[in-house]
Amino acid sequence: MSEPEKSENIPDASAGKEVPNGGNSAKSKEDFDLAAVYVSDAMYNRNIYFDTSPQAIRLYLLYNHWALKVLLYVFILVNLGLAIFEEPAVFPLPTWATMLLELLCVFVFTFRIVHYAKVIPRDKFWKDPKNICIIVILLLTLVDMIIYGALRAANCSIIRWSRVLRPLLLVNVTEGRQLRRAFRSIRNALPQIFNVFLLFMFSLLMFSLMALKLLGKRNLKTIEGLPYFNNYLEIVFDLYVLVTTANSPDVMMPAYNSHSMFTLFFIVYILINTYIFMSVFLAVVYNNYKKYLKEEVRQLVRAKRHKMARAFAVLQEQKEDGGQPMVTQANWNQLVRQVRPDISNGHRELLWHVCDDKNHGFIGKGAFVQLADLLNIEVITLKSRPHPLQSLFPKIYQSAPSRLLCRMVQHRFDTLIVVTALIATIINSALKSLVRYTSRQILDIVFILRVLRLLRVVDGFKRFRAIINTLIRIGPAILTFGQLIIVVFYIFAMVGMELFKHKVKFYEDSNDPAKAYCGNPLLNNTAFAQLNYCKNNFNNVVSSFILLVELTVVNQWHVLSSGFATVTHVSARIFFVIFHILVVIIIVNIFVAFVLEAFFVEYSMDKNDLQTSLEKKIKELELAVAQEKLEDNLVNAMETMDNDLGTGQTSTTANLPNLMFKIASKRYRTVDALLQRMFEEDLDPEDFRETDEPEAQTGSFPNPAFGSA
């Protein structure tokens, strides 16, 4: 989340000249390992310093292994999930059990950070703020565990203050770069938001003062019989809530009932603060978010090009006539096989023809640096050979039952729904016969599954299909903001549980007299208790998250905050106001800004130049799939495409090549690829042009070099 991370590990372009074996024709396994690491980092935008020694490269490859990443996230989830079993718990466990699990998580995180320290140079490790942050969090967690365990053994009450630090591990791990980028977007937008917020607060305070002078001495009463607008701080809070429309028109009714002219005051206030200032908030957030995100994408592109330049420097060879350095097809093929072993030989040959458009048998630096972007383009590979059963049993394969079965397999979505509904119906009937099962729960599930078939109806309308497909494509990027919300919610949930736990209680027994005031006499005859909001509490992490979701929706949030202020202190409203400002005004607006930009790009723009070149080459080689054979629709986005074009089509597949290709509807392998696509039209040409002169780099970010062994 630090400022240097914006340019984190952008290598010096000249550093490629220091790569061992660069320019020699004989390439060793270590050379291909090093080049593959650079290309892989460029594909996934991993901006990590690492030593170039063979031992460090092996450790780096192990560090980026998918199994270790999955294990890391499993323990992060376990660490966050401990709140379910800790006091106040949903499912209580002994203190020693939760402490042991937390200690195991701390050990895994320590192992991960030590592994990372072995990969990068020591001076770079200690200069990286996120590493320092992880170490501090782990140390503070251990200190808190020791203090908590000792005081718990002595039967003393203590606060687990380190729990609010747990989600910060999710932010600061190496794999959390998308989440750190989201936090940087918030931080960069804060100065401009703060200026607008100051004007908004000035307007709020001025209108509150006018309301006090206008209505404070008229002896008006609220519906609860309390004095109306005679306390300045109460007026400030009520008018702030009015900006969110949560208490409209209730807050206005006593004045409106007194005289209709008083409504002019509230109309002017709503016009200025709700419609103008809130719109300005969105505009400021969108403008600053786009500006700073564009700058970060510029850094991503520059770093990617420099990494590819390093890979080129490792594999380059000099021409016999002394021309420009180049990479041969053999070395290129071996590199691609090492980076993407999952792609077919035909797919790899297709990518080579795109890079080597003139069929020279080698490519230069400019074509080589496009490899990372080419590998990030999803290409569907389809085999045109007939099905093996068609060759062995042609009559049976062409029979009517066989064709029906093939159609069922091709329409997996419908088949899955129908078969699942049939199985659920059989189970429901069996339970009724055996155990006198009377519930309709299974039948309700069947009805829900049948309703899902309406997706086929939606799929039939092209205008709907385009919108929904766009939402599907930007879905992975939206998940980043889901992580951001979880981090913020977790922190507020931990703080809320320490401040408000057991202040409000829920009673399932409707005959219990304490249910009328949520177990706290202070809530008797309050709107909180009368609306039966007792289950909205901070008594465990699950109810805390549900309450925070309700606060995000905004409706009735003033009733919720007033309830907790009643059972504690009026200053408790500060907790809820801060949550509203941070989540609803800032984070939600940034989320809206991202969705607007991403949706506009996906919905309205054509393929980029590299995708166009790839598609053109597919057509030149006569390997294109007809559009009617691979119609891009919603259901195909949900199903696994059939990779055999010969199914039931012997007459049409005899003259087709063995492999055919189609770009997979502009889908992106990484979120960074989508971000680059979003600002492709706005980026300066030099961000895509490789240069060997570090001083030619423009911008306000330093360009540190990789350490070499």
For residue 662, give the 3-state DSSP assignment.
strand
What is the per-residue pLDDT across 268-294, written as a single tens digit (0 to 9) for each?
Answer: 999 999 999 999 988 888 888 778 877
Own/partner pairs, 54-58, CB within 8 angstroms, 24+ separation: 54/30, 56/118, 56/119, 56/709, 57/30, 57/33, 58/33
What's the confidence (pLDDT) of residue 395?
74
Torsional sign, CA 646, 649, 651, 653: negative
Residue 667 dihedral angles phi and psi, to the nearest 5°: -80, 155
What span, in angstroms and rounded, lies between the C-alpha atoms of 558 and 244? 10
Per-residue CA distances from 233 to 227, 570, 572, 574 (Å): 13, 10, 13, 12
By mean pLDDT, which of 79-88, 298-307, 415-424 is the weakest?
Answer: 415-424
What's the confidence (pLDDT) of residue 37?
92
What's the confidence (pLDDT) of residue 624?
54
pLDDT (average), residues 454-482: 73
Q: Which residue has the higher pLDDT, 491 or 306?
A: 491
Of all residues in the chain, what percent carry a pLDDT higher than 70? 73
Domain boundaries, the chain: 49-173, 180-376, 388-407+606-663, 408-467, 475-604
Highest mean pLDDT of the ranges 80-89, 296-305, 348-357, 652-661: 80-89
Helix boundaries (H) for 120-176? 122-127, 129-153, 166-172
What is the per-residue pLDDT across 576-606, written as a single tens digit (0 to 9) for each?
Answer: 999 999 999 888 888 888 777 777 766 665 5
What is the per-residue pLDDT across 514-543, written as a single tens digit (0 to 9) for each?
Answer: 888 999 999 998 999 999 999 999 999 999
For residue 537, give the 3-state DSSP assignment.
coil
Q: How would residue 50 be classed by pLDDT, with cut points 50, 70 and 90?
A: confident
What span, in angstroms and rounded, lies between the C-alpha atoms of 400 and 402? 5
CA Rg, the chain, in Å?
A: 31
Q: What is the dihedral of CA 655, 657, 658, 664, to 10 degrees?
A: -120
Q: Which residue has the higher pLDDT, 51 or 679?
A: 51
| Token pair listed for 209 | 């003062």
Q: Name residue 19's amino acid.
A: V
Q: CB–CB of 111/134 below 8 Å?
A: no
The terminus-to-terminus CA distance of the chain in angstroms comes to 29
Highest mean pLDDT of the ranges 22-26, 244-248, 440-444, 477-481: 244-248
What's the confidence (pLDDT) of residue 18?
46
- Checking if the pLDDT of 433 tops 90, the result is no
What is the per-residue pLDDT across 500-515, written as a single tens digit (0 to 9) for each?
Answer: 999 999 998 888 888 8
| Token pair listed for 671 | 């979120």
pLDDT (average), residues 103-128: 93
What's the confidence (pLDDT) of residue 410?
52
Count of C-beta atoms within a 10 Å radius of residue 79:
22
What's the confidence (pLDDT) of residue 379?
75
What span, in angstroms and rounded, lies between the C-alpha atoms of 315 and 24? 8
Looking at every residue in the chain, the average pLDDT score rounds to 79
By mean pLDDT, which of 75-89, 396-410, 476-490 is the weakest?
Answer: 396-410
Q: How would residue 551 be classed by pLDDT, with cut points 50, 70 and 90?
A: very high
Q: CB–CB of 572/499 below 8 Å?
A: yes
- Checking if the pLDDT of 202 tops 80, the result is yes
What's the confidence (pLDDT) of residue 3?
41
What is the per-residue pLDDT across 360-400, written as a single tens digit (0 to 9) for each?
Answer: 888 888 888 888 888 887 777 766 556 666 667 777 767 77
What's the confidence (pLDDT) of residue 169?
93
What is the per-residue pLDDT across 600-650, written as a single tens digit (0 to 9) for each?
Answer: 766 665 555 565 666 666 666 555 544 444 444 444 443 333 444 444 444
Q: CB–CB of 690/309 below 8 Å?
A: yes
CA angle (23 as vertex; 18, 28 as ends), nearest 5: 90
